[in-house]
């Protein structure tokens, strides 16, 4: 194994050897190299992150005007204390998110297709059909984009969550529908002789879902990956980076600011992650509770 790692390191270093020899021991050349290198990541950060976060363009869910019966409605006096106002605003936001979540699940229950429910407040991820949970798994850990707080501060989070998210693209380290080729026995005698249990697939799981309205969900397995799994994840991460860079370049080529994606990272048990990834169909709906 150390020999393999050493060969990989040498292979990765080979294209950069002339540059390393030029910079070795030459402080002036090093300073010039850094001077010309630093503006590139800074420019990419500004174009791909800072400016999109400032504008936060996303596809808004269609707003439906709600009929309000004001005959018995009593206007409550707003608190004057700033701390009380903040607490009241947080409670209102929590109720609005809860309302949107259940409205979306009700809407999804009218479909015959498998849907996905991600409930961060209860640390649950659920596969359901017509409102009936088919598989419920615990979210071990999760993280989410700070831009979601920015969206809430602008008062647009409720609208963003008001309709089901639709799955558009996915990328994974494992096949969606694995195929196992087995030679059929010639007769029952040979079938009895070859009767063995089919081994369970032991493969690491990492995948990314991209939904509409600029939502990305990244799922990682709880277990430590194997050596082969680390190589697969390296290739998977390379593809993710390439796709992001290609989308950014395409936006800039069309004279548009790159869209900033709101991301949620989930850590699940490997078997749960594998089952959920393979069960979720194309264009699946998602109900999200933050």
165 bridge partner residues: 286
Asked if the structure places residue 63 within a domain, the reply is no
Cα–Cα dist 163/166, whole Å: 9
**CATH number of the CATH domain containing 91:** 2.40.440.10
Q: Are the CB atoms for 69 and 59 separated by under 8 Å?
A: no
Alpha-carbon distance of 7 to 106, in angstroms, equals: 56
Mean confidence (pLDDT) of the chain: 80
Alpha carbons within 13 angstroms on the beta-carbon side of residue 40 total 5
| Within a domain: 151 | yes
- Encoded tokens for 152: 């809430």
pLDDT at 68: 45
| Mean pLDDT of all residues in 147-172 | 91
Q: pLDDT tens for residues 213-230? A: 999 999 999 999 888 889
Q: Which domain holds residue 103?
A: 27-58+82-179+200-289
| pTM score | 0.70
Q: Based on the structure, what is the number of domains in the chain?
A: 1
| DSSP code for 187 | S
pLDDT at 81 (0 to 100)? 72
Residue 163 lies in a domain: yes
Residue 72: inside a domain: no
Please give the Cα distance from 56 to 50 (Å, whole number).
10
| Strongest mean pLDDT among 13-17, 104-108, 244-248 | 104-108
In a domain, 12, yes or no: no
Residue 69 has pLDDT above 60, yes or no: no
- Position 258 scores a pLDDT of 80
Question: Residue 188: what pLDDT?
Answer: 78
In a domain, 259, yes or no: yes
Say yes or no to pLDDT of 112 above 80: yes
Does residue 255 register a pLDDT over 70?
Answer: yes
Q: Are strands 124-129 and 132-138 parallel, antiparallel or unpaired?
A: antiparallel
- DSSP-derived secondary structure letter, 57: -
């Amino acid at each position: 194994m150390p020999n393999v790692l050493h060969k990989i390191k040498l292979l990765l270093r080979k294209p950069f050897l002339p540059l390393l020899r030029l910079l070795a021991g030459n402080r002036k050349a090093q300073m010039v190299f850094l001077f010309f290198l630093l503006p590139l990541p800074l420019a990419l950060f500004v174009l791909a992150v800072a400016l999109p976060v400032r504008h936060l363009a996303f596809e808004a869910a269609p707003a439906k005007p709600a009929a309000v019966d004001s005959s018995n409605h009593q206007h409550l006096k707003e608190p004057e204390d700033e701390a009380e106002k903040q607490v009241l605003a947080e409670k209102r936001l929590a109720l609005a998110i809860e309302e949107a979540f259940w409205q979306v699940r009700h809407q999804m229950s009218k479909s015959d297709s498998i849907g996905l429910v991600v409930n961060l407040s209860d640390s649950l991820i659920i596969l359901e059909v017509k409102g009936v949970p088919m598989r419920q798994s615990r979210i071990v850990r999760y993280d989410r984009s700070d831009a979601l707080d920015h969206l809430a501060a602008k008062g647009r989070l409720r609208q963003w969550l008001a309709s089901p998210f639709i799955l558009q693209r996915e990328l994974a380290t494992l096949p969606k529908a694995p195929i196992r080729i087995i030679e059929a026995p010639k007769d029952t005698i040979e079938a009895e002789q070859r009767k063995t249990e089919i081994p369970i697939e032991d493969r690491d799981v990492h995948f990314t879902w991209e939904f509409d309205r600029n939502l990305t969900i990244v799922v990682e397995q709880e277990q430590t990956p194997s050596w082969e799994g680390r190589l697969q994840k390296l290739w998977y991460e390379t593809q993710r980076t390439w796709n992001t860079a290609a989308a950014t370049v395409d936006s800039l080529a069309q004279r548009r600011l790159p869209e900033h994606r709101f991301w949620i990272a989930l850590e699940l048990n490997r078997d749960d992650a594998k089952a959920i990834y393979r069960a979720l169909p194309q264009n699946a709906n998602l109900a999200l509770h933050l």
